[in-house]
Structure 1
Amino acid sequence: MRRGKVEEASERGEGGEASLGTCSQNAPAVSGRARRAQRRRALCSLPPGPLRVGPRRPIGASPRRRAGTPPPPHVAPAAPPPRSSASAQRALRTSPAELPGSSRAPRSSRSRSGRGGVMVVLSVPPEVTVILLDIEGTTTPIAFVKDTLFSYIRENVKDYLHAHWDEEECREDVSLLRKQAEEDSHLDGAVLIPPRSEHGADDTEQMIQAVVDNVYWQMSLDRKTPALKQLQGHIWRAAFAAGTVKAEFFEDVVPAIRKWRQAGMKVYIYSSGSVEAQKLLFGYSTEGDILELFDGHFDTKIGHKIESESYRRIATSIGCSPNNILFLTDVTREANAAEEADVHVAVVVRPGNAGLTGR
């Protein structure tokens, strides 16, 4: 598994308090817009070791200080001193509500190299009873998704289509891609897929190549259409079942999920990948089959991740208020949408992730 280490995510505290080591912070009792304004959190990237977690300040903002106290001298932040394994474990055991992620602090409190860090805090409000997790860049390294999973699709989609072309499931996959291609016909570079023909091998080969070209085109644009995700999921299913591919997670993920469940929280996945593909990842992983750790899965059938209504639908499906959900994602556009729906949000920054932008 990749580094980005939190040894374990500790149990929930009371009153929305979270601490790491000697730091702690009480979440103030606020509501409405003021509460939403406080929700954004950034999980900060440090050298290998326990996670430091902190509330996200606007770029250029200074840390709060009590009235009447002089401003601190300006000093460049330094990397925290190394902590022994034993002391790190003691600190983690005292942390009531950690979240996974190795992090990068806001620019106002980190060195230019990105390897410095500060001891900071993330408060998990007491009303949170549901953890909603993104996958790519949150539980799973982006490098694994792009370099392993997506590369496998590009290298094997044609062989897969040849092997399964006459099967009903494959026929349905191609039909959905054909409909999507028709909807995309006005876009530059869109590849149309001709209707099925029974006139010979040449026509079949032409159709298969059109499907391959369409898949390549969509993937080059990082599109997340249900038709594309469905075919990808079926190709990955064959790879996982054959043992060709095993999913990878950041090493803090499984311990954190187990702690959340021990604390009585429910854990759900929300990803642009199909529910079937999600279950493959967590069913065939380097950690074994860990599907039992999750209470449910959501994909874009419930709505796109950058639309606030999607998060309201998820809350309705779970049977809770949006305010009972904490959503962890590495994409700020998704975080913004979730906040608009009154969902608590933590923005996770992992090794290899893009910076905290509006992507």
Structure 2
Amino acid sequence: MTRHLARLGISGIRTVILDIEGTVTPIAFVKEVLFPYAAEHLPEFVRANHADDAIKALLDDAREAAGDPTLDLDQTIAALLRWIDEDRKVTALKTLQGMVWKHGYTSGAYRAPVFDDAVVRMRQWFTRRIRLFIYSSGSVEAQKLLFAHTDHGDLRPLLSGYFDTTLGPKKERTSYLKLAREVRRPATSLLFLSDSAEELDAARETGINAVRLVRPGEVERGSSHLEVESFLALQL
């Protein structure tokens, strides 16, 4: 059933904020393709590039996140791999993962599967000059790589910008206050789409409109948010 948001009291939407995992791409792509690829190739990448100033700074950030600035290179790599297994949202890890994933995308090792319904609506909204932004725990670089290499082609022209955890944690209210300031729109004119009820809770506290994607087989129904199984169920 199509949900006409204006009839539900949600009107004047001119900006849509999109989560990635479980919202525009299947969770399995990240869990079963990207994470294993990073786990396999990250150690070699870090060892080959650890003297680079940018990589050195990221490794220092990782040591700080681990709570031990004295960790040697092997111990730091071990911490990074552990965080991959635990799906930890550590900014240094996400940035390093993005660097490793770049090789996977550009070499043709994989393409990002994007839900057909998401692409249909994104193209329609773009045509109507509704701005589209991404807010994901993955680094901005990783986000751009993903949307440049999808099974629907390069989707970057549809997007007005990208945000990652340098903005702030996705489950904290203050992150969404910053987001609204960054896109220069009132919170009430923004719509955030995510599969995470906790992220949506934080967004809604700021006045941002929130709708939960419950893809079949991806997440369970049951939250205080409007829930839909497809972008096609939303009519702005």
Q: TM-score, normalised by structure 2?
A: 0.86
Equivalent position of 1:149 in the other structure:
34
**Aligned partners of 1:339 and 1:25: how far apart in 2?**
15
Given the alignment, which residue of 239, 259, 280 partners 2:124? 259
Equivalent residue pairs, number = 223
Structure 2: where are the runs of 5+ without partners?
224-236
Equivalent position of 2:229 in the other structure:
none
**Aligned partners of 1:342 and 1:336: how far apart in 2?**
10
Given the alignment, which residue of 63, 71, 84 partners 1:178? 63
1:354: Cα distance to partner? 2.5
1:264: Cα distance to partner? 2.3
Aligned positions of 1:218-229 closer than 5 A: 218-229=83-94
Given that 1:134 and 1:269 are in contact with CA atoms closer than 8 Å, whether structure 2 keeps it comes out as: yes
Q: 1:329 to 1:24 in 2, by over 3 A?
A: closer
Q: 1:24 to 1:171 in 2, by over 3 A?
A: closer
Q: 1:126 to 1:303 in 2, by over 3 A?
A: same
1:158: Cα distance to partner? 1.7
The structure with more helix, counted as a fraction of residues: 2
Q: 1:24 to 1:333 in 2, by over 3 A?
A: closer
Q: 1:171 to 1:245 in 2, by over 3 A?
A: farther
Given that 1:192 and 1:214 are in contact with CA atoms closer than 8 Å, whether structure 2 keeps it comes out as: no
**Aligned partners of 1:310 and 1:135: how far apart in 2?**
17
1:124: Cα distance to partner? 7.1
**Aligned partners of 2:177 and 2:63: how far apart in 1?**
31
Aligned positions of 1:315-330 closer than 5 A: 315-330=180-195
Q: Pick the structure with greater CA Rg.
A: 1
**Which segments of structure 1 move beyond 4 Å, counting only runs of 4 or more?**
23-26
Given that 1:192 and 1:210 are in contact with CA atoms closer than 8 Å, whether structure 2 keeps it comes out as: no
**Aligned partners of 1:180 and 1:164: how far apart in 2?**
20
1:126 paired with 2:29, answer: no
Q: 1:192 to 1:244 in 2, by over 3 A?
A: farther
Give CA deviations for 1:226-257 in whole Å, capped at 9, x if unaligned: 11111111111122222223211111111110
CA RMSD for the aligned pairs?
A: 2.2
Q: 1:326 to 1:221 in 2, by over 3 A?
A: same
Equivalent position of 1:237 in the other structure:
102
Given that 1:224 and 1:272 are in contact with CA atoms closer than 8 Å, whether structure 2 keeps it comes out as: yes
Equivalent position of 2:218 in the other structure:
353
SS for the counterpart of 2:17 is: strand
Give CA deviations for 1:6-49 in whole Å, capped at 9, x if unaligned: xxxxxxxxxxxxx74xx97862xxxxxxxxxxxxxxxxxxxxxx
**Aligned partners of 2:87 and 2:71: how far apart in 1?**
19
Q: TM-score, normalised by structure 1?
A: 0.58
Whichever residue aligns with residue 97 of structure 2, its letter is Q
Given that 1:271 and 1:300 are in contact with CA atoms closer than 8 Å, whether structure 2 keeps it comes out as: yes
Structure 1: where are the runs of 5+ without partners?
1-18, 28-122, 186-190, 195-206
SS for the counterpart of 1:303 is: coil
**Aligned partners of 1:328 and 1:243: how far apart in 2?**
29
- Identity across aligned pairs (percent)? 34
**Aligned partners of 1:342 and 1:249: how far apart in 2?**
28
Aligned positions of 1:26-45 closer than 5 A: 27=7
Greater relative contact order structure (CA < 8 Å, 6+ sep)? 2
Equivalent position of 2:71 in the other structure:
193
